[in-house]
Chain A
Amino acid sequence: MKKIEAIIKPFRLDDVKKGLSNLGIKGMTVSEVRGFGRQRGHKEVYRGAEYQVDFVAKIKIEIVLEASMVPDAMKVIQDQARTGEIGDGKIFVIPVEQVVRIRTGESGKEAL
């Protein structure tokens, strides 16, 4: 089993979610994060005082899925999240040791 962590632009979330749903991926966790890579931040001005704000708002999507589905999932995320502008984000794939469904106690693939 693998975990995909994807950092994407917030306004792409709905399309990414629909695309993953169509693939059969039934669950995900989403968090609001801040970050930067090559994308610059922006300037804010309050009563003449300038602030360079480096961190940009992003959405992090976390899904755990069978290894066989990873390539398709990555393609869907890339297709839906890409805008062509700097700051589109990144996808990380991480191995997962164990998964348990809390309500039933199922583990492994059945718990996904």
Chain B
Amino acid sequence: MDTGDTTFILICAALVMLMTIGLALFYAGMVRSKNALGTIMQSFIIIALITVEWILWGYSMAFGPDKWGVIGGLEWFGLRGVGMAPHSVYATTIPHQVFMIYQCMFAVITPALITGAFAERMRFGPFLLFSLLWATFVYNPLAHWIWGDGGWLGRLGALDFAGGVAVHLSSGVAALAAAILLGKREGFGTEELRPHNLPMTLLGAGLLWFGWFGFNAGSALAAGSLAGSAFVATHVAGTTGALAWVFMEWRVTGKATTLGGASGAIAGLATVTPAAGFVGPISAAIIGILAGVGCYLGIMAKNRFGYDDSLDVVGIHGVGGVLGLLVTGLFASVAINPGGADGLFFGNTAQLSIQCIAIGVTIVYTFVVSYTLLKIVDKLFGLRVELRDERSGLDITQHEETAYNI
């Protein structure tokens, strides 16, 4: 066991946990003030709910002993067998528990990402149930396929350093299912549904960016040059993403906006996530630019298709996830990470098709299961708030609280 690696991964786990808080603030600032607490509560409570799920059956399903390449068994239910000694495959220089708690934070933030799609209109109880079911039946299998020991996507050779498949693409696709099923907010397209506190959003974006170093660099699972390389790639992609979005927006609408800067950075960071440990800094810079432009266009497409993905989870995480997995197939280089593979631009034509398989499978599986789970919870309990509650706001109707008593 290595104390440097262990320190590093523990700190990274804390950084990723902070990202869910950052996400809460990022989202809350963008909704109307009557929904500020409801929005924050969704992310905040998910930290608690999904952590418990994780230590009971989540970790076992995702990383436990493999069954047919498709799922982990429940041998590690309640973290039985997950002790202090390193696991022989997952992270050989840190305690198994440390690897588990690091992965826990990924499992936690992923369902929290989806909340952006149904912001301002989901009932609290059904939301909890859906999140729990989604974590169990979508996140855990996907994580197993791509990262589990014996998982079939990983065995196939799909490259996903820190979460294109299990985190961004999955949440983006689930967000689409949710936006379609829950329907538009009242006033969407006709009224002013403006952000109520952009400084809060920017604070959230900053915390997310900061935490992302734990998300991507930590996925090296060791404190060394690969972590450093992933850190650099992550940061660079975030910066060029921000610049690309801002300049594009400036060109198209005439003004550079703060929200655009934050959104571009997030787009860059999300898109580089599967690629972070496989690409060099210049590749990362290009990836960030593609992300800024691609996700910006993705959001404009929302206006064309007419679905209310309130906080642009599809446009940023969905599009970013697809883009990120694709560019991994283009820019990956074994010179950066011998444990990976070369992408198309380094002479290997096969990787891109493997990435496409990963993308296709993730989209189909996630959409079908997410839609089904949403339908079931809707039939049993009803997902959407009553119209009069939507008008009064989630804070007062779901939580009997007011965010701003001034």
Binding site for B on A (CB under 8 A): 44-51, 53
Cross-chain contact A45 with B192 (CB below 8 angstroms): no
CB-CB under 8 A from A45, the residues of chain B are 253, 255, 257
CB-CB under 8 A from B263, the residues of chain A are 47
Q: Is B369 an interface residue (CB 8 A)?
A: no
Main secondary structure of the interface of B (DSSP, over half): helix
Cross-chain contact A47 with B192 (CB below 8 angstroms): no
Enumerate 21 A-B pairs (CB-CB under 8 Å) in ascending A order. A45-B255, A45-B257, A46-B194, A46-B195, A46-B257, A46-B259, A47-B259, A47-B260, A47-B263, A47-B299, A47-B312, A48-B252, A48-B253, A48-B296, A48-B299, A48-B300, A48-B303, A49-B303, A50-B253, A51-B194, A53-B192
CB-CB under 8 A from A51, the residues of chain B are 192, 194
Q: 5 more A-B contacts (CB under 8 A) besides A46-B194, A48-B253, A49-B303? A: A45-B253, A45-B257, A48-B249, A48-B300, A48-B303
The closest CB in chain A to the CB of B300 belongs to A48
Q: How far is the CA of A51 from the CA of B257 in the complex (A)?
A: 14
CB-CB under 8 A from A46, the residues of chain B are 30, 194-195, 257, 259
CB-CB under 8 A from B252, the residues of chain A are 48
CB-CB under 8 A from B299, the residues of chain A are 47-48
Q: How far, in Å, is A14 (CB) from chain B's closest CB?
A: 23
CB-CB under 8 A from B192, the residues of chain A are 51, 53
Picked from B194, B249, B300, B303, the residue with its CB within 8 Å of the CB of A44 is B194
The closest CB in chain A to the CB of B30 belongs to A46
CB-CB under 8 A from B253, the residues of chain A are 45, 48, 50
Q: How far, in Å, is A79 (CB) from chain B's closest CB?
A: 34
Q: How far is the CA of A53 from the CA of B194 in the complex (A)?
A: 10
The closest CB in chain B to the CB of A50 belongs to B253
Question: What are the interface flags for B264-283 relative to A under an 8 Å C-beta threshold, 1 for contact and 0 otherwise?
Answer: 00000000000000000000
Q: How far is the CA of A45 from the CA of B250 in the complex (A)?
A: 11
Q: How far is the CA of A18 from the CA of B364 in the complex (A)?
A: 69
Within 84-135 of B, Cβ neighbours of A (below 8 Å) are at: none
Q: How far, in Å, is B297 (CB) from chain A's closest CB?
A: 10
Question: What are the interface flags for B295-314 relative to A under an 8 Å C-beta threshold, 1 for contact and 0 otherwise?
Answer: 01001100100000000100
Q: How far, in Å, is B259 (CB) from chain A's closest CB?
A: 6
CB-CB under 8 A from B303, the residues of chain A are 48-49
Within 167-196 of B, Cβ neighbours of A (below 8 Å) are at: 192, 194-195
Q: How far is the CA of A92 from the CA of B259 in the complex (A)?
A: 40
The closest CB in chain B to the CB of A54 belongs to B192
Q: How far, in Å, is A69 (CB) from chain B's closest CB?
A: 34
CB-CB under 8 A from A47, the residues of chain B are 259-260, 263, 299, 312
Residue from A45, A46, A50 having most chain B Cβ neighbours under 10 A: A46
Q: How far is the CA of A47 from the CA of B263 in the complex (A)?
A: 8
Q: How far, in Å, is A22 (CB) from chain B's closest CB?
A: 33
Question: What are the interface flags for B23-47 relative to A under an 8 Å C-beta threshold, 1 for contact and 0 otherwise?
Answer: 0000000100000000000000000
Q: How far is the CA of A45 from the CA of B263 in the complex (A)?
A: 14
- What are the nearest 5 A-B pairs in CB distance? A51-B192, A45-B253, A48-B300, A47-B299, A46-B259
Q: How far is the CA of A45 from the CA of B260 in the complex (A)?
A: 10
Q: How far, in Å, is B42 (CB) from chain A's closest CB?
A: 20
Q: How far is the CA of A53 from the CA of B303 in the complex (A)?
A: 20
CB-CB under 8 A from A50, the residues of chain B are 253
Within 236-254 of B, Cβ neighbours of A (below 8 Å) are at: 249, 252-253
Q: How far, in Å, is B66 (CB) from chain A's closest CB?
A: 42
Q: How far is the CA of A49 from the CA of B195 in the complex (A)?
A: 11
Q: How far is the CA of A45 from the CA of B253 in the complex (A)?
A: 8
The closest CB in chain B to the CB of A52 belongs to B192
